[in-house]
A and B are shown apart, each in its own frame.
Chain A
């Protein structure tokens, strides 16, 4: 049986499909960051490392030459999964 494109997984971590993205787009969302907020795409373990380029291809930047961030998917610290306990200890040197 051939899968329809709607079931195509785009975000592997959160198992977000192309259909999920299309539905979000139909609801008026049109940047990578908005799609992330609606579907959790990019919010999983890898924090968008694998899917960022995919969602950006669907919702490309509008033309600024010099970008503040390379993608509308914002990047926040911590950029790797660390426990809260670990973060709390950072001040304790």
Chain B
């Protein structure tokens, strides 16, 4: 799914990192969004809905719809489409609240 050649845009080399999603390890490029990294790895479904248990992927891509919400270990919910992926990030499906403040 990654574009290797483009007639107009310059493709720059980026730093490769690895991260996990639901205990599977994937590689991606530092700084790209989590959603883009997973999409490049052909992982599209990020969660299932609460009422009808249907799968959802990223939809709006700019942080408005929250369909791409994903759980970041030691933090809580982030939107995969606007959160940059980092080396050794631990991600999983499932809402676990907005953020795990210690209060």
Contacts and interface: CB of A to CB of B under 8 A. Distances in A.
B103 A45 contact: no
Contacts of B56: 12
Given A15-B51, A50-B60, A85 B65 contact: no
B8 to A, nearest CB: 31
Contact of A12 (B67, B69, B98, B101): B67
A14 B66 CA distance: 12
A83 B51 contact: no
Interface in B35-74: 49, 51-52, 54, 56, 59-60, 64-67, 69
B89 interface: no
B97 A49 contact: no
The DSSP consensus for interface residues of chain A is: loop
22 contacts: A12-B56, A12-B65, A12-B67, A15-B49, A15-B51, A15-B52, A15-B54, A46-B65, A46-B66, A49-B64, A49-B65, A50-B64, A50-B65, A81-B77, A82-B98, A83-B97, A83-B99, A85-B99, A85-B103, A86-B99, A86-B101, A88-B103
B79 to A, nearest CB: 10
Interface of B: 49, 51-52, 54, 56, 59-60, 64-67, 69, 77, 97-99, 101, 103
Interface string A34-77: 00000000001110011000000000000000000000000000
A81 B64 contact: no
Interface residues of A, number: 15
A54 to B, nearest CB: 13
Contacts of A81: 66, 77, 98
Given A12-B67, A13-B66, A15-B52, A83 B101 contact: yes
A36 B103 CA distance: 32
